[in-house]
Amino acid sequence: MADMLRGALIIGQSGGPTAVINASAYGVIRTALDSDCITTVYGANYGIKGVLDDRLFIMDKEDRAELDKLMYTPSSALGSCRYKMKDPDEDETDYRRILEIFKKYDVRYFCYNGGNDSMDTCNKISKYMKKAGYECRIMGVPKTIDNDLYGTDHCPGYGSAAKYIATSIMEVARDTVVYDTGVVTIIECMGRHAGWLTAAAALANIHVRSCDLIYLPEMDFSMEQFIADVKRVYEQNGNCIAAVSEGLHYADGTFVSEAKTSATDGFGHAQLGGLAVRLANTVKSELGVKTRGIELSLLQRCAAHCASGTDINEAFMAGKAAVEAMLKGETDKMVGFECERKDGVYSCSTKLFELSDVANYENKVPLSWINDEGNDVTEEFVKYALPLINGETPMVKKDGLPDFASLKRVLA
């Protein structure tokens, strides 16, 4: 029999948004609203900052019909943050404040929906609450288009971004061959250290070859090899499409796009971008051919209209499983996926991972899934990723446009 802990729940969203992060949040919210143990469901505005600032939305006051739309509403409906919590051994201020808010609202359940850094936040809060002797169950719900969380087969958000990337490359490929004069098109995908998103370009090749070359940040980049690759493909096909990761770097670690901007995000990551145009210009001057650089930019992480039905359902499932696990007494864990791909049949179930194992570890594309030339991925990757992009969004349209959720956001 589960340990019946009565109290409120807070759900927070953190890090860069995805097309399905709200589906996970809804999995948490819906399950919590339906639970007898959970007295009130709060949504923290701007992630953990909403807890620190005492800005909590009462989810019980939202209309069910509007909450239902979270299944296909992209981006973080509650607001997100990139707030790095200090180590509690160095500075307890934030943790004391969180405990104060938890006590104020009798919060006994806390779900944090985010990536690596969020799992670290979760883990630190969990340890502090234990030390403070405050009974509270804490669960991480993964999200990241980067797909770089440890342990889980994949991360909610990745499938939808991968579907958008593959679909867009298939479409761009059709567009770039219309003239009898060739063009080299460079398509830049997100991914600082992990190449999962860029690897998704390979999915564009499963029906008809659409993407010729794929470069991931798991390998050191060589401009000479890149130019030689493009030259070979262009001479052979009269056209060339290459997918490149924003995080491409030379052997010495320098980002290929570096010196573009010196701005950094809250965690000290360099803000990358402009790589596609940079590579397109280099190809143009080296090979004297027409080029075009396309940066998929934010579009790849918010394109809910092209989200994967599988991804949406799994994202909801992860949120639901998080609450169910907490109600059963689990804490200090992250919900992840365990999947089987056998004879073309894909199955996915949730599994709990230790937060301490997950936090701050980046899961990259296995080197064995990258070809010897470092300019494509293998069939293993395609087998892995293809089931994740299957199925369509249940998005409802109004006047031909998405009818996104519009929450009341009633503050506690």
Choose between 101 and 136: whose C-beta lies nearer to its own copies.
101
Rounded CA separation 226/116 (Å): 31
Task: Determine if 299 is a binding residue for its own copies (CB under 8 A).
Answer: yes
Q: What is d(CA 336, CA 345) in angstroms, rounded to the nearest whole number?
A: 20
Residues in region 144-163 near its own copies by CB under 8 A: 163
In the bound complex, what is the minimum distance in angstroms from residue 82's beta carbon to its own copies?
A: 7
**Whole-number Cα distances in Å, 242 to 63, 161, 220, 291:** 46, 18, 16, 11
Cα(67)–Cα(210) distance, rounded to whole angstroms? Answer: 38
Crossing angle between the packed helical segments 223-237 and 275-287, to the nearest 10 degrees: 70
Choose which of 295, 330, 332, 376 interacts with its own copies (CB under 8 A): 295
Answer yes or no whether residue 399 interacts with its own copies by CB under 8 A.
yes
Instruction: Determine the 3-state secondary structure of 392 from DSSP.
Output: coil
- 179 makes contact with its own copies (CB under 8 A): yes
Q: Which of 61, 127, 232, 290 binds its own copies (CB under 8 A)?
A: 290
Min CB(230)–its own copies separation in Å: 18
The only residue of 46, 95, 150, 196 in contact with its own copies, by rule CB under 8 A? 46
What is the spatial distance between Cα 203 and Cα 199, in angstroms, rounded to a whole number? 8
What are the helix and strand counts (H, E) for the chain? 13, 13
Choice among 94, 146, 148, 212 that is catalytic: 146
> Which strand (E) or helix (H) includes residue 123?
helix 116-132
Stretch that binds its own copies, among 60-68, 102-110, 302-310, 324-332 (CB under 8 A): 302-310
| Segment near its own copies (CB under 8 A); pick from 30-38, 244-252, 316-324, 395-403 | 395-403
Decide: is 392 part of the binding site for its own copies (CB under 8 A): yes
Is 39 in a helix, a strand, or coil? strand
Stretch 110-139: interaction string toward its own copies, x if CB under 8 A? ------------------------------
Query: In which element (H, E) is residue 279 found?
Result: helix 275-287
**Catalytic residue at 357?**
no
Over the window 307 to 326, marking each residue x when it contacts its own copies by CB under 8 A and - when it does not, the resulting string is -x-x----------------
Q: What are phi and psi of 353, to 5 degrees?
A: -120, 150
Starting from the edge strand earliest in sequence, which strands make up the sheet with 56-58, in order? 56-58, 38-44, 7-13, 107-114, 137-142, 333-342, 345-354
Helix (H, G, I), strand (E, B) or coil at 42: strand
The conformational region for residue 194 under phi > 0 = left, psi -120 to 50 = alpha, else beta, is: beta
Residue with smaller CB distance to its own copies, 301 or 320: 301
207 or 342: CB nearest its own copies:
207
Contact between 403 and its own copies by CB under 8 A: the answer reads yes
Cα separation, 140 vs 110, whole angstroms: 8
Closer CB to its own copies, residue 38 or residue 312? 312
Asked if residue 86 binds its own copies (CB under 8 A), the reply is no
Closer residue to its own copies, CB minimum distance, 167 or 225 = 167
Q: According to CB under 8 A, which one of 58, 177, 223, 227 is a site residue for its own copies?
A: 177
The answer to whether residue 381 forms part of the interface with its own copies (CB under 8 A) is no
Q: Least separation, in Å, of the C-beta of 134 and its own copies?
A: 27
Gap between the Cα atoms of 48 and 85, Å rounded: 9
Q: Is 293 helix (H, G, I), strand (E, B) or coil?
A: strand
Q: How far apart are CA 209 and CA 262, in angstroms?
A: 37
Could you say whether residue 277 binds its own copies (CB under 8 A)? Answer: yes
Q: Which is nearer to its own copies, 70 or 111 (CB)?
A: 70
Judged by CB, which is closer to its own copies: 18, or 245?
18
Rounded Cα distance, 391 and 230, in Å: 34
| CB-nearer residue toward its own copies: 88 or 274 | 274
What are the catalytic residues?
A: 146
Question: Which residue ranges make up the site for its own copies (CB under 8 A)?
Answer: 13, 16-17, 46, 49, 73-76, 79-82, 163, 166-168, 170-172, 174-180, 185, 203-204, 206-208, 263, 274, 277, 290, 292, 294-295, 297-299, 301-306, 308, 310, 386, 389-392, 397-404, 406
